[in-house]
Structure 1
Amino acid sequence: MAMSKFWKICGVLLLITVIGAAGCVVPGTEEKSAGLVVDIRNAGDSFNAQTVAGLNRSAEEGVVVPLLYVVNSDREAAEAFAELERKRPAVILSTGHSLTEYLAESARKNPDLHYATFDGVFHAGSGMPGNMMNVLFRSEEPSYLAGYLAGMMTKTNTVGFIGGMDIPAVDRFYYGYRAGVEAAAAERGQYISVERAVVGNFYDREAAKLLADGMYDTSADVILQAAGDAGLGVIAAAKESGTYVIGADRDQRDLAPENMLTSVTKNLEEAVYQTITEYAAGRVHDGQEIWLGIANNATGLAPLHPAVPDAVAEKIAELSKQIAKGRIDPPATAEEYAAK
């Protein structure tokens, strides 16, 4: 699946106008349609915005008629998938872990329909329905670069990581980040501590801020947040304490220009757009698990803070090339980390 180098955030207004409603549907026509369900409970605004942007783009280019449902409860999620089953679009999509089971249940009941999820919990050969595709991001790759950056920028030799939940998608951020910090520590000839905390969800900004406040108060001066909407609390803590933070999913510089070292980005808009285009054209990828990373221009780092020395920026660019060529393979799990 081809990936472009750049993406734009669009579709935010469409997302905002339907928040709080059970769903917003563009009436079906004889044209091909694509259905998308997003959950505002457990996914950050940037994650949702990118997903909706991919759907919007496919609609603007005349690929499909968009069917968008924004849900805020289990009941609404069930109703959204039931409605899409009746409308029978070319593909039914969802993002993140919270809707994966609903998507999979719908797929099992409707083997003649096609489904795709992004960063879902299923994997090919381990319970994923045969009419479902899972697009996954190698977040450990840009997180390794972020960890190296944090390790080179810390003055206290303590950095932090705050995730939303203990799930594989968040582990990818953490173990890649930790390995990158250790690469920087080895280069500096110093030990650098990595503190870790988990919010327990992706929406509680206050809880995330309390965790970040605790880390900053106990000497951490850089934190990578991988906590969705809750991560906004981490960014707020960085601004209050005058320390550094690393964003996630999209370039989050606009939220804290003075404090944002960089962001670990996922080109989710392009992935959604390409998936819809493929299915609308009849090129289905049922049962496939597709991994996207730096080599596909699907993940990476946002522009670096002006305070980052040129030598560090140049080293990060070189490390990125090494990852793309497969010469550096950052760990994504505890097992892979332990084996390094």
Structure 2
Amino acid sequence: MKKFSVFFSVLSVIVVTILLSACGNTKSGRNNIYIVVDSVEKDSFLEETKSGVNDFCGDNNFNFESLTCKNESDFLNKLDFAGENGSLVWACGAYFFDDAKKAAEFNTKSKYVVLDSPSDDKTTNLFGVVFRTEESSFLVGYIAGMTTNTNQVGFVGGINDDNIATFEYGYKAGVEFAAKERKTNINISSEYVGSYADLAKAFSIGDEMYKAGNDVIYQAAGAAGLGVIESAVQNDRWVIGVDVDQSEIAPKNVLTSALKHCRAIAKYVSEDIIKNNFKNSNKNTYYFGLENGSVDIPSNHDNYSDELYEKTQNIKQKIISDEIIVPKNKDDYETFKKELQ
């Protein structure tokens, strides 16, 4: 009897172990999709991307989890963990690229997507998503240039890098285009917060720029941009939103917004990669712009005229048809200005 007792005890342990192992495989297997972010700050860009990935997971029975890095030294740890335990990993920001590449090389069965960065063409399980933000920035720049009364407009960026350069120089080109149409000169000033989370510093920068005579500022500074919006309210000036329609935050001060439809794109790319379609991937990089409606401006335009909205729509079509080539860096911008004269 004792022998049977021991036998059944051992058998029970084996069965429980197998069951636990099976459960573990379900939770940490190929049915997980992770998104890795570097900040707990509320950022419309990140929130929309998370929602899009979560939409895909909900529709396709995948588990969704968001991982927040403590600092830069934690990037690789989180990306590696996600790759070991999931089938798809989203890295939210171009600054993740180097660590995402390393993690992708470690975890060849998982696929990685870096938002706002092209892929390197060599790492087969590494993908990039690039929004042509210079195009929507050109449109809001044109609106700013046609709206300013002081002929002084500004730009406030988060971190000064190649990604935010597309916002800055696309915007400046749009302002220059408007200045030519108006046959006037418009001064454009640029400042950087050095962070995507420092609302107080962003407020201070915006406040100083408004007091210096800028009556329109385009902010592309993540969560810190809310500080610029607050400074617009305090100074009763115009501000241009980014990523989502930010008019609800300050209806009387948000002139327009440069949109990125992150939610729809995150869902689409997740499905495309999981199903191995790669329909719109060019050498492992997905490009999204005005042509496919992935960047744009809001159709509501309570703070500027129907006539200006229609003019902006005509310019949009010229960008789509390549009649206007929008610059995305300083060199291209300088060339654009020369050709515009």
How far apart are 1:84 and its partner, in Å? Answer: 1.6
1 CA distance for matches of 2:282 and 2:186? 44
The SS at the match of 1:282 is coil
Moved more, 49-58 or 109-118: 109-118
Deviation at 1:268, TM superposition (A): 1.1
Partner of 2:243: 249
Q: Which residue of 2 aligns with 1:105?
A: 102
**Mapped contact 1:161–1:174 kept (Cα < 8 A):** yes
Q: Give the counterpart letter for 2:36 in structure 1.
A: V
Give the aligned partner of residue 326 of structure 2: 330
Alignment of 1:36-55 (within 5 A): 36-40=35-39, 45-55=43-53
Letter in 1 for 2:259: T
Equivalent position to 2:84, from 86, 89, 92: 86
Partner of residue 320, structure 1: 316
1:194 equivalenced with 2:149 (yes/no): no
Q: CA deviation at 1:283?
A: 3.1
Measure the CA separation in 2 of the matches of 1:81 and 1:188.
Answer: 50
Name 1:276's counterpart in structure 2: 270
Residue 218 of structure 1: which of 207, 212, 216 is its match?
Answer: 212
**Pair 204,231 (structure 1): closer, same or farther in 2 beyond 3 Å:** same
Structure of greater Rg: 2
SS in 2 for 1:160: strand
**1:204 maps to which of 198, 201, 212:** 198
**Higher mean displacement: 229-238 or 129-138:** 129-138
Opposite residue 175 of structure 1, the aligned amino acid is Y
Say what the alpha-carbon RMSD is for the aligned residues.
2.1
Give 1:62 deviation, angstroms: 2.0
| Offset, 1:85 | 2.8
Q: Kindly provide the amino acid, as one letter, of the partner of residue 148 in structure 1.
A: Y
What TM-score comes out, normalization by structure 1 length? 0.85
State how far apart, in whole Å, the 1-side matches of 2:109 and 2:164 are. 32
Q: Distance in 2 between matches of 1:149 and 1:113?
A: 43
Q: Judge conservation of contact 2:84–2:107 (CA < 8 Å) in 1.
A: no
1:172 CA drift (Å): 0.5
Q: Does the CA contact (< 8 Å) of 1:246 and 1:264 recur in 2?
A: yes
1:153-209 deviation per Cα after TM superposition (whole angstroms, max 9, x unaligned)? 000000000001111111101111111101111111110100111111111111111
Q: Which residue of 1 aligns with 2:234?
A: 240
Given that residues 158 and 164 in structure 2 are in contact (C-alpha distance below 8 angstroms), is that contact kept between their aligned partners in structure 1?
yes
User: Is contact 1:59–1:65 with CA below 8 Å preserved after alignment?
Assistant: yes
Which stretch shows the higher mean deviation, 284-293 or 97-106?
A: 284-293
Match of 1:261 in 2: 255
Q: Please identify, of 290-299 and 67-76, the stretch whose mean Cα deviation from structure 2 is larger.
A: 67-76
Aligned equivalent of 1:298: 294
Q: Which residue of 1 aligns with 2:65?
A: 67
TM-score normalized by the length of structure 2:
0.85
- CA distance in structure 2 between the partners assigned to 1:244 and 1:67 by the alignment: 38
Shift of 1:101: 2.6
Cα distance in 2 between the residues matched to 1:38 and 1:30: 21
Contact 2:119 2:283 in 1 (8 A): no
Instruction: Please tell me the residue identity of whatever aligns with 2:153.
Output: V
Report SS of the residue matched to 1:166.
coil
What is the Cα deviation at residue 148 of structure 1?
0.5
Unaligned runs of 5+ in 1: 1-25
Unaligned runs of 5+ in 2: 1-24, 337-341
Q: Count how many residue pairs are aligned between Structure 1 and Structure 2.
A: 310
Q: How much identity, in percent, do the aligned residues show?
A: 30
Q: Which residue of 1 aligns with 2:18?
A: none
Of residues 266-275 and 240-249 in structure 1, the stretch that sits farther from structure 2 once superposed is 266-275
Query: In structure 2, what residue type is equivalent to 1:139?
Result: T
- 1:287 Cα offset (Å): 5.0
- 1:189-242 CA-partner distances (Å, limit 9, x unpaired): 110100111111111111111111111001100000000011111001000000
Taking the aligned partners of 2:287 and 2:213, their CA distance within structure 1 comes to 36
CA contact (8 A) 1:304 1:313 kept: no
Find out whether 1:136 has 2:134 as its counterpart.
Answer: no
- Write the distance in 1 (CA, Å) between the matches of 2:303 and 2:50: 34
Matched residue, 1:10: none
